Amino acid sequence: MTILFTVLAAALAVAIPALATAWAQSRIGPAIAASMAEKPELSTTAVLMIAIPETMVILGFVVAVLILFSKAA
């Protein structure tokens, strides 16, 4: 049972930030695409804006790894 909860916790640690990242990028993507149509020099900002929400899922992944490994130890 504990293993089930551990795995579930690890899965949620990735899934919830992944949904949050997807939602954030779905808002940022069209906005930055529209901005770049007007000002192509914003391409660097576009890269940064798209990459910033990915931090959530990356940190979620790290937390998931830590959950799984702490259990294994």
Partner 1 sequence: MIIEMSKVRILGPRDRLADVLRSLQDIGVLHLAPPGALPRLAPLQLSSSQERERRHLRDGLENVQRALGELGLTAGQGPSAGGAAPSPADLVRWVRLGWRVRRAAERLKARGAALEEERALILKYQHFFSAFRSLLESEARWPNATAYHVLLKSGDTETIRRLRTSLTALIGDEFQLYAQPLPSGETALLVVVSAQAAGRVERLLAEARVQEIPVPETYGGKSLTEAIPRMLLRLGEIPGEMQAVQRERDALAKSHGAELRRARAGLHDRLRELEALPLSGVTPHAFVLEGWVPADGRGDLEARLTATFGEDVAVSEISKEEWKSEEAPVVLSNPRLLRPFETLIRLMPLPHYGTIDPTPFVAVFFPAFFGLMMGDVGYGVVLAALGLVLHARSKPGTLLRNVSEIIGPCALFSIIAGLLYGELFGDLGTRWLGLKPILFSREEALIPFLLLAVALGAVHIVLGLGLGVASNIRRHPRAALGRGVSAVMIVLIVLALLAAVDVLPKSFFTPVVIALLVAFPVLIVLEGVVAPIELLSTLGNILSYARIMALGVASVMLAVVANRMVGAIGSVTVGILFALLFHLVNFAIALFSPTIHALRLHYVEFFGKFYSPGGVRYEPFGHWTRDTATPAP
Cβ atoms of 42 and 32 within 8 Å: the answer is yes
Q: Could you say whether residue 54 binds partner 1 (CB under 8 A)?
A: yes
Cβ neighbours of residue 63 closer than 8 Å, sequence gap 6 or more: 13
Minimum CB distance to partner 1 smaller for 2 or for 44: 44
Residue 65 binds to partner 1 (criterion: CB under 8 A):
yes
Told to check if 48 binds partner 1 by CB under 8 A, we report yes
Distance, CA of 30 to CA of 28 (rounded, Å): 6
**Contact residues: partner 1, CB under 8 A:** 43-44, 47-48, 50-52, 54-55, 58-59, 61-62, 65-66, 69
